[in-house]
Amino acid sequence: METPGFLEPFVGRWTKRHLLDLESLTSDEITLLLDVAQAFKESTQDCRHKLPLLTGHTSVNLFFEDSTRTRTSFSLAARRLGADVIEFSASSSSLSKGETLLDTAKTIQSMCIDTLVCRHRAPGIPQMLAENMDVSVINAGDGPHEHPTQGLLDILTIRQHRGDLSGKTVAMVGDIAHSRTARSNIWGLQKLGAHVIVCGPSTLVSRRWEEFGVEVSHDLDTILPRCDVLNLLRIQFERQYTRPFPSVREYALLYAMDQKRMQRAKPDILIMAPGPINRGVEITPEVADGEHSVILHQVNNGLAVRMAAMWLLGAGRAR
């Protein structure tokens, strides 16, 4: 299929073969990804319609951690673009027989694939694959390191509802210590001019985050009136070896976004959460389902961002 008119302005502007993080991207590269994602949304009725731009391409989802939103979103994005999709299951692969991860990946590569989407609990695995394989690699989350497409979809959601990010105050609240989403958001938001606050218990939000140029707070009620956006991060008990606070009830009392706190927030505040959300812990049901919540908008934007990334790394990349 010939490149549709709405994508013509973007052809050849992307030069990277992989999408591994937002830390290494420039503000122009981040903006390009966002612009392409927005173009896909507007031209396909929120990514409902197929565009056979990657016909003949094969994408493999190599996931070593549980996932609903991200895995489904990448699969749908590839299929919306006409690519074939292979779903890899670690539990039923030769890894259980002692084969190394790299040997497994190279075996899959030998079947003439084009894109490898990788999620792993260990930081740096997508980078290692990119350095040792002859295919495009997209990082779908590597431990607590980064989750670039989640960061992009969060930023796209803010941009759609609030326009230019320059001067906006975005607070990420919760388990910052274990959050790859927080790291990707920090890099992306700062490069686009936003002021970033990280907030949560001191056991999960170290003062060392100030070295990244962000504001650190342990008191949600103090920062709340200044925030344009709240991104409520899940407490990742599965990555913790000790309980970082006395009880879930106490955490919710101090950091959950509820109706009482909404009354002290800006009238047009955006409430976001990367999911899965724990109702009653990070956010109460009435706020999660309320008029300020854009949580489901984030999910839809994830499809657009992943379509943009796959197209740019494939047919849209400068050769």
Q: Which among 254, 262, 249 has a CA at the least distance from the CA of 289? A: 262
Cα–Cα distance for residue pair 83/310, rounded to 1 Å: 10
Q: Is 97 annotated as a binding residue?
A: yes
Strand partners, 228: none
Cα–Cα distance for residue pair 47/304, rounded to 1 Å: 6
Q: Is 190 annotated as a binding residue?
A: no
Contact by Cβ (8 Å): 27, 191: yes
Beta strands in the chain (DSSP E): 58-63, 84-89, 115-120, 136-142, 169-173, 195-199, 215-217, 229-232, 270-272
Check whether 26 has a pLDDT greater than 90. Answer: yes
Check whether 239 has a pLDDT greater than 60. Answer: no
Q: Is 239 annotated as a binding residue?
A: no
Strand partners, 231: 172, 272
Q: Is 180 annotated as a binding residue?
A: yes
Cα–Cα distance for residue pair 218/259, rounded to 1 Å: 20
Q: Which among 82, 74, 85 has a CA at the least distance from the CA of 119? A: 74
Domain boundaries, the chain: 5-147+300-316, 149-298
Q: What is the mean pLDDT of residues 22-50?
A: 97
Q: Is 70 annotated as a binding residue?
A: yes
5-147+300-316: in CATH 3.40.50.1370: yes
Cα–Cα distance for residue pair 248/255, rounded to 1 Å: 10
Q: What is the residue-averaged pLDDT of the chain?
A: 93
- Residue 43 vs residue 97, higher pLDDT: 43
Check whether 148 has a pLDDT greater than 70. Answer: yes
Contacts of residue 284, defined as CB under 8 A and 6 or more positions apart, other chains included, come to 256, 257, 258, 259
Q: What is the mean pLDDT of residues 245-249?
A: 74
Contact by Cβ (8 Å): 79, 117: no
Q: Is-above-0.85 flag for pTM?
A: yes
Q: What is the mean pLDDT of residues 128-141?
A: 97
Q: Is 150 annotated as a binding residue?
A: yes
pLDDT band at 246 (very low <50, low <70, confident <90, very high): low
Q: Is 207 annotated as a binding residue?
A: no
Cα–Cα distance for residue pair 1/51, rounded to 1 Å: 8
In Å, the largest CA–CA distance within the chain is 59
Q: What is the mean pLDDT of residues 227-251?
A: 76
Q: Is 225 annotated as a binding residue?
A: no
pLDDT band at 259 (very low <50, low <70, confident <90, very high): very high
Q: Is 243 annotated as a binding residue?
A: no
Specify the pLDDT at position 168: 98
Specify the pLDDT at position 88: 86
**CA-to-CA separations, 212 to 44, 79, 115, 196, in angstroms, rounded:** 38, 37, 31, 10
pLDDT band at 228 (very low <50, low <70, confident <90, very high): very high
| CATH architecture under which domain 149-298 falls | 3-Layer(aba) Sandwich (3.40)
Q: What is the mean pLDDT of residues 197-205?
A: 95
Q: Is 16 annotated as a binding residue?
A: no
- Nearest-10 crossing angle of helices 148-162, 295-313: 120
pLDDT band at 234 (very low <50, low <70, confident <90, very high): confident
One fold for both 5-147+300-316 and 149-298? yes
